[in-house]
Copies of this chain bind each other. A is one copy, B any other.
């Protein structure tokens, strides 16, 4: 096995210099750094991440905490998680996935990425003694990454109006959370600007629920209505309702989803949707957390990424 000493010999520098080049590259000159890196490459030397972690008084482990039931989560978590993993692997960090909040203290870690948090969970977070970043908007001052939810529904609502739908209805998620208020706000502000009357309904995030909402209120939705939805799962249920009513999609009724991971593409017809940059959000979550760990918990702020409209078969 190649050791630190071998690298030092090859580079003709001290062991201390090699160690510093690995653990505190900012403390050595670019020339020295290059020398050491060349020697490491030549000898195929891999610094032991456990040893590095100890030197820095770290574990090089981050916990990814999911507070929602994983059986009911959207597949977009997979993309988010792979984004997080990409960001961590670049810095030789590993992750532990935690679904039971009681498991958090059972092993060492340097910080947390938290998804699926609801306002009721905030008391828990205040007790954490490690840096953390939330996935999802909050009004509590916690650092977070999210899609620009308001912008997403502005884009959707504007597109529905441009395509000539005379009625645009918002079907949102039945949760009292900031991301949902932002989405509704995007719809409302666009409609008000266009001087159009607004209609909002809310449903639990299950296709059967949104189907029921549409069927229960069917007389309120005349031909040439477009449904702007808080998720692709809600959009799927609305499509089911429209198929049951034997009306034409997209000529008589339009549907625009939100999320753009998997479900929009396996639906029939495929769903016009607002696509979240889930992989990128994951990568930024990791980068922000590692930065926060490095800077001993310094705030990293709020990051909203732009979603994109993907036009498919449920809008004219």
Out of B50, B71, B207, which one reaches A266, CB within 8 Å?
B207
Interface-lining segment among A103-111, A165-173, A185-193, A302-310: A103-111
Question: Which residues of chain A from 93 to 128 have any CB-CB distance to chain B below 8 Å in the complex?
Answer: 93-99, 103, 105-108
A152 to B290, CA, bound (A): 44
Binary flags per residue of A240-267, CB closer than 8 Å to B gives 1, else 0: 1001000000000000000000110010
Instruction: Specify how many copies of this chain sit in the oligomer.
Output: 2
Interface-lining segment among A58-66, A139-147, A222-230: A58-66
Task: Report whether over half of chain A's contact residues are helix, strand or loop; otherwise say mixed.
Answer: helix
Q: How big is the A interface, by class?
A: 35 or more
Which residues from chain B contact A263 at a C-beta distance below 8 Å?
266
Contact B97 A81 (CB under 8 A): yes
Binary flags per residue of A262-306, CB closer than 8 Å to B gives 1, else 0: 110010100000000000000000000000000000000000000
Which residues from chain B contact A181 at a C-beta distance below 8 Å?
none
- By a beta-carbon cutoff of 8 Å, the part of chain A in contact with chain B is 46-51, 53-54, 58-61, 70-71, 73, 75, 77-79, 81-82, 85-86, 88-89, 92-99, 103, 105-108, 207, 233, 236, 240, 243, 262-263, 266, 268
